[in-house]
Chains A and B, each alone.
Chain A
Amino acid sequence: MVRLSNDDLRRRAWALFILDNSMRMGLIPLSKIRFHRITYFCNCLSGLFQVLPLDTTVVKYVRGPYYPEMQWHLDRLVGAGLATIKDLRYPMDPHGTWMDANYQITKSGALAAEALRKVDDFYSINKFISDIIYSYSAQEEKFLDSLAIFDSTYGNAQKEEGIVIDFSEAIENLSVREADSFEKFAQNPNTLSPQDRTFLYMGYLQQITSDAVRKVG
């Protein structure tokens, strides 16, 4: 039996929790694109929740954030019977052909997630992932796949495509800074919990996405 390293175990738990919470929040089925979008937000906004991210770098890619290692773990979940993959498709766009598919958790996957949640460390990871997905899923369906593209860190106009975006330093993480900037509207900034900040920030991303789309016409 292959033993997973701690890092692999963490990644696999994140993949499982993202899948499980997405299903619970009605994001059914979860497309590959959306899985990576959510993974990006979990990494990027983890600082709000005092949780260590899995990755503090991501390549600015034409089709949005993509995490090869997380994809591997997601596919391992399918191999282990904890998730299913269906609707495999090869869409074409001006940048070429690519692959997308829909993922769904299985009953064994949900049971595995339930068992993992009972472990203290994983409980808090699941909690923060669930909070982020709750805020993400509260936005309008038609904008969900665009939110990460307009994210302050990922969508930073000063970063060109193909470049590695590194938000390991707090000052470089514009998303957390934007989320924190809502403090100025509350007379008592302490009232804003990490969940509040995430929720407000997602609402903000939806607003700027829809405004920008409207302007482009």
Chain B
Amino acid sequence: MDLTSAMSCVSNDDVKAAIFSREILRNPGRSLSPSMQLLHDAGKLCLAWLEAATAPMSGAYAFVLSEHPALDDAIDDSKFPNLRNLQKASVHDIIDTRIFVCSANLKVSFSPEFGSRNTSQIISWLGANGIGDRPTLVFQPTEGMILWYPDGVATGTAINYVTDLQKEDVFDLEKYADHFHEHWTKWPTGFGGKIWHDHKERIVIKRAEDCVRDDLFVYLSLVVYRTGNIVRENLMTNGRSDLWIYSRYSGDTAGSAVVELKVLRSKSFSIDKKARTYSDKVIEEYVKKGIRQASEYKASGKAEKAFCWCFDARAANNNLPVHPNAISAGVSLKLFWMESNFKGR
């Protein structure tokens, strides 16, 4: 039998059904920024290790992002002799390896000869070897804890993903939105601080909404890990919703929620200084458009709840008379003021 006829023997639908159920539920993390992808993929791998471990896993594991492994000066062959592909690595493959400097998709990972399992010693080692400022995920299996350092372990600022939030009600989304805002978008030093182009001038980057959407996506997908599913840019019959949260990915839409995201700005970002300015009246219409979109997506997708979350980077925190619209449309509206200075933190 040659390869072509062997190929035609395969029952395509059975293969596809198996792939669909295996992959789609477990891999919603495509097309993210590298640091978010590392958080998502490494987080997923750690939880799979935890599930598969026959004996208690002790100590800590660190995953450090190498955005461009081929050009990474920190990866010195003599210092990082162990090369692996972690994409499908089992817990048995990684015995005694504690530090992984890896591509965002875990396809290549370099590890040093490093004996300690102790978290603080691992963190010290990363700092001493010039990679303490990179996005890093630290996994502590005994505590079931994933610590995420978006700006590296040297900053000491981490968020604990799993233990704080995992077993909460998936659809208590507003509580999560507050938590997200507090840590990501409220302060310029927050994890989502990259959405500012110039926080003092209150100018956000061009694709600020995409950034917020992706950050929120990873945040929520680890929070609701295995209890629900989240889709970005979900194609509806009447447009694309920013986030769609399913109670079951392939099941009915009862219990689903739609989230429409808006970043409000008084001035657009422009390289050539010909920035556009937006009055509060225009912004008010923009928010109302978001409310309308959320309401329409809720209706067309038969969702249970609709949320419109606006991250407010306007020049001044003036009142926007938009809440009556939200109430009448059955949309839960929240405006999150983004601070432009560090005072009060």
Contact = CB atoms under 8 A, between A and B. Distances in A.
Q: Do the two chains belong together in a single complex?
A: yes
Contact of B19 (A149, A155, A200): A200
Size bracket, chain A contacts: 35 or more
Given A28-B69, A216-B2, A186 B250 contact: yes
Contacts of B19: 182, 200, 203-204, 207
A178 B106 CA distance: 27
Interface in B84-119: 85, 87-88, 102-108
Given A131-B31, A204-B15, A25 B237 contact: no
A107 B70 CA distance: 9
A98 interface: no
Contacts of A6: none
A208 B10 CA distance: 7
Interface string A101-141: 00011110010000000000000000100110011011011
Interface string A11-52: 000000000000111111100000000000000000000000
Interface stretch (A87-95, A165-173, A190-198): A190-198
A213 interface: yes
Nearest to A123: B207
B166 interface: no
Contacts of A130: 31
A215 B249 contact: no
B33 to A, nearest CB: 11
B27 A199 contact: yes
B251 A187 contact: yes
Nearest to B85: A141
A150 interface: yes
Contacts of A211: 6-7, 10, 15
Given A191-B244, A200-B23, A212-B10, A28 B70 contact: yes
A188 interface: yes
Contact of A190 (B2, B18, B237): B237
Interface stretch (B129-137, B139-147, B227-235, B311-319): B227-235
B30 A212 contact: no
A24 B103 contact: yes
A44 to B, nearest CB: 17
Contacts of A163: none
A181 interface: yes
Interface string B5-17: 1111110100111
B233 to A, nearest CB: 6
B190 interface: no
B34 interface: yes
B301 interface: yes
A81 B223 CA distance: 45
Contacts of A196: 24, 30
Contact of A157 (B8, B237, B251): B8
B66 to A, nearest CB: 9
Contacts of A134: 30-31, 105
B280 interface: no
B68 interface: yes
A202 to B, nearest CB: 9
Given A134-B30, A134-B105, A188-B301, A107 B244 contact: no
Interface of A: 23-29, 104-107, 110, 127, 130-131, 134-135, 137-138, 140-141, 149-150, 155, 157, 181-182, 185-188, 190-193, 195-196, 199-200, 203-204, 207-208, 211-213, 215-216
Given A185-B16, A199-B23, A204-B15, 19 more contacts: A24-B34, A26-B85, A26-B106, A105-B71, A134-B30, A182-B16, A185-B17, A185-B21, A185-B250, A190-B237, A191-B234, A193-B234, A196-B30, A200-B20, A203-B22, A208-B7, A212-B7, A212-B10, A216-B3
